[in-house]
Structure 1
Amino acid sequence: MRNISDIIEEHIKKIIGNYGEIEIKRSELADKFQCVPSQINYVLKTRFSIERGYVVESKRGGGGYIRIVKVTPINEMELIDQMVEFIDDRITQSRSQAIIIRLFEEGLITKREAKLMMSAIDRSVLDLSIPLRDEVRANILRAMLHALRYKK
């Protein structure tokens, strides 16, 4: 069964799919889904990050809003280059997963390839202490992204 975060994400993505962007009030969205505004914050932070291809702008105060814009790369190489730039010397599992999800959603990798990549960067496989684990994950992910340049 889907949780409330999945439902909110799906709703926002559907609107963005129709218009390319969405401008909403956090409180109105929370009322619509009968949840607390912090749940909306959680969805925005975890599901609409730059790694996943979204820019989120927030204006606080009276009449404040949230604008979410889908960023579309010019081509596959530009997307891969953007993803490589997101990887510093270290990268967390959640940021790595966001990059892989974006590659899948943009059609650069198959579902099977995404699963393989997720397995390779998983903390249970990289049984090392932090920060070494995040350094190794960054190296592995960077190598996989470079390999995608020569996919075809």
Structure 2
Amino acid sequence: MGNISDIIEKYLQQMLAASDSGMVEIKRSELADEFQCVPSQINYVISTRFTVEKGYLVESKRGGGGFIRIRRARLHSQKEYFADLLLHIGETIPQITAEHVISRLQEDQLLTEREAILIKGIISRETLQLPLPLRDELRARMLRSMVSILFGRLGG
């Protein structure tokens, strides 16, 4: 059994998968009660595991009738998906954000596990032993190039 963050993430992903609308709406305090954790643990899971780079959109409303709404971002075309990826990569990208982009490509079955591991190795700080911000700039250039090649291969 994983840690509480992994368990909460898996639970929310299962809820999303079961949802006809591709969206779930939760109350942070109710979910915290269900998992017997503090509400900040729910915030942590949502802010680190359900990011735009990973293909999720999150809305929240605080207060008595507050909620957190999570939905999977679905883009309508390969061209739109490609443009969204390039936007999130930008001119510089830290390693963790780049890894989220790669995970998203893998989850969307655009990369195999082996390809994802290879790309993560190529863009890692251990491989790119350069000072910041040069390292993040080079990582972004490499990732944009790999994504462009990937979408060229897909005919997008």
Q: Which moves more between the two structures, 52-61 or 79-88?
A: 79-88
Q: 2:94 aligns to what? A: 92
Distance 2:140 2:25 in 1: 34
Q: 2:16 aligns to what? A: 16
| Contact map agreement 1:76 1:108 (CA 8 A) in 2 | no
Tell me whether 1:79 sits opposite 2:81 in the alignment. Answer: yes
Displacement of 1:61 after TM fit?
A: 1.1
Candidates 20, 30, 33, aligned match of 1:31: 33
Q: 1:65 aligns to what? A: 67
Q: 2:106 aligns to what? A: 104
* 1:99-118 deviation per Cα after TM superposition (whole angstroms, max 9, x unaligned): 10000001111111111111
* RMSD, aligned α-carbons: 1.2
Q: Which moves more between the two structures, 42-51 or 74-83?
A: 74-83
Q: 1:4 aligns to what? A: 4
Displacement of 1:2 after TM fit?
A: 1.5
* 1:98-144 deviation per Cα after TM superposition (whole angstroms, max 9, x unaligned): 11000000111111111111111111111111111111111111111
Percent same amino acid among aligned pairs? 50
Q: Please give the secondary structure, in 1, of the residue aligned with 2:74.
A: coil
Candidates 129, 145, 148, aligned match of 1:146: 148
TM-score by length of 1: 0.95
* 1:61-94 deviation per Cα after TM superposition (whole angstroms, max 9, x unaligned): 1121100011112233322221011122211111
TM-score by length of 2: 0.92
| Alignment size in residue pairs | 152
Distance 1:51 1:86 in 2: 7
Paired amino acid for 1:142:
R
Q: Which moves more between the two structures, 50-59 or 68-77?
A: 68-77
Paired amino acid for 1:9:
E
Q: Which moves more between the two structures, 70-79 or 87-96?
A: 70-79
Paired amino acid for 2:26:
I
